[in-house]
Chain A
């Protein structure tokens, strides 16, 4: 991988990678750190990583970092967390289905959320998602199905949710 190719990959995938990290952990600094770490790892392994598979490599690294951070956050409950500066929705904002869906997404389990995000945001196949998340294709499919069902139930019971 040449410097030019690497820089093109930064241009192409850094936004989607950052989006993926930010949607998962909601902390801007952590999301930026995840992106930087992922690209640094790509640069170190530039001779062994195939250019066609570099996107999967980046998301795999980012996913692993995300999981680590989420686990830390779960342990350090008392720690003060600077949250992603998303406009806090009042009841009127919830009319926006997109925002409702994003809030609902936080309620489902991590494997289901990540599977759906990789599927919808990045258009990955079940097999590719399985490679990133280190699980089988059928497991990915089940996660997506159950995740969507959960989201559908949340959206169906919107009044209760609010």
Chain B
């Protein structure tokens, strides 16, 4: 076969591809019919056009398709996975926190047992406000103070019988109970526990003071409330003794775990002495003791 030029081949190709205009097509077809080589090339090139084979089908269409149900499962799984991850993180966080708290609880309980605080627990005395017939409104101006005025007073509702030692025991057990509750409180730090104990001590002292005033000034005509003056000094001594015992226990327990009591220098000044007093404060876990150094 005589070779035809590449330009002619391109023209035949363009004709078969349908890229020529109507006029160009007619001209090219005329040329093809007049030239046997071109005609043969045209016929052979025409055979190279593929016919789609529609017998080949993809029979796994269903696996490709999506349904609302599958989408919902997918989205539900996402949420379930998110919840599961959140749960695991929460559990780990709680577990780590529990590990921190448990030794504190166990050490507190150990101290309790050593001090036999639980054995001394007794019913708590209740506080009540004494209502009197007098004008108890607090004056805002000095001129409003009448001779009849007395401030509202708080006192222990003690039993009507005058009993010295049980009252002391009651007050003491109440204090022990209060201390136990504070020490067992898991949500308070050591500093908070200490500040609450100190605050309570101060209030207790004030209450005792008021109680003393009440005993002296109260009208006992109705004989409904009888207040008992407790031996506060003895109570304080017992309390200090208890605290010292607690301090030693705590310090000993701390030393077992390598925790040395904190040493702190605290200065205080008395009213009638211009030289400040320096105290050595030895703090264990919750309690501390003071040792006088220089005066």
Interface residues of B in 29-83 (CB under 8 A from A): 41, 44-45, 47-54, 56-58, 60-61, 63-68, 71
Which residues in A have some Cβ–Cβ distance to B below 8 Å? Answer: 3, 6-7, 10-11, 14-19, 22-23, 32, 35-36, 39, 43, 97-98, 101, 105, 116-117, 120-121, 144-145, 147-149, 151-152, 155-156
Q: How far is the CA of A14 from the CA of B57 in the complex (A)?
A: 8
A145 engages B10 (CB within 8 Å) = yes
Total inter-chain residue pairs, C-beta < 8 Å: 75
Interface size on B, residues (CB 8 A): 27
B64 engages A10 (CB within 8 Å) = yes
With A116-B50, A120-B50, A121-B50 already in contact, the answer to whether A156 and B64 are too (CB < 8 A) is: no
Chain B residues whose CB sits within 8 angstroms of the CB of A121 once the complex forms: 50, 52
11 examples of A-B residue contacts, CB within 8 angstroms = A18-B56, A39-B64, A97-B47, A98-B53, A101-B50, A116-B48, A120-B50, A152-B41, A155-B47, A155-B48, A156-B44
A120 engages B47 (CB within 8 Å) = no
Interface of A is mostly: helix
Chain B residues whose CB sits within 8 angstroms of the CB of A7 once the complex forms: 65-66
A3 engages B68 (CB within 8 Å) = yes
A3 engages B50 (CB within 8 Å) = no
Q: How far is the CB of A8 from chain B (nearest CB, A)?
A: 10
Interface residues of B in 159-210 (CB under 8 A from A): none
Closest residue on chain A to residue B13 by CB atoms: A145
Which residues in B have some Cβ–Cβ distance to A below 8 Å? Answer: 9-10, 13, 17, 41, 44-45, 47-54, 56-58, 60-61, 63-68, 71
With A7-B66, A10-B64, A36-B63 already in contact, the answer to whether A15 and B50 are too (CB < 8 A) is: no
With A18-B58, A148-B13 already in contact, the answer to whether A10 and B65 are too (CB < 8 A) is: yes
- Most central of B45, B58, B60, B61 by chain A CB within 10 Å: B58
Q: How far is the CA of A45 from the CA of B86 in the complex (A)?
A: 29
